Amino acid sequence: MMTETTSSMIILLSVALFSNIPLGYLRQGVAKRSALWMLYIHLSIPFLFTLRHHYGFSWRVIPFTLSCAVIGQLVGGRLRKRADRV
C-alpha cells in the first residue's frame, strides 16, 4: 500500500511531466530563444513550485520535478516534429 508521501510524489512528478508535453509541443513551433519559447519552457515552474509547497516537499525534490519537466518538453517537441512531417 502506498503512503501519502509516495502518492503526493507521484502526483507532483506526473503534473511536471504531463503539463510540459503540450508546452513542449507549442515550444517546438516558435523561434528558438524567442520570448514565447522562453515562456513555454518556464510556464509550468510557478505551478510546480506551488504544488511542491502544498505537499510539503523540500528543495531536494527539485531535480526530480525538473527531470520530469524536461522529459515532458522533449516528448512534446518530438510529437510536434512528427505531426509536422505528416
The pLDDT of residue 15 is 98
Whether residue 26 is contained in a domain is answered as: yes
The domain tally of the chain equals 1
Contact 13, 65 (CB under 8 A): yes
Asked, for residue 6, whether it belongs to a domain, the answer is no
Question: pLDDT band at 68, cuts 50/70/90?
Answer: very high
Q: Domain for residue 1, yes or no?
A: no
Please indicate, yes or no, if residue 5 is contained in any of the structural domains.
no
Q: What is the pLDDT of residues 4-57, one digit of tens each?
A: 999 999 999 999 999 999 999 999 999 999 999 999 999 999 999 999 999 999
Residue 78, H or E segment: helix 62-85
Range of the domain at 24: 11-85
In a domain, 28, yes or no: yes
Is 79 part of any domain? Answer: yes
The answer to whether position 16 is within a domain reads yes
Domain assignment present for residue 3? The answer is no
- CB atoms closer than 10 angstroms to residue 56: 8
Span 69-74, average pLDDT: 98
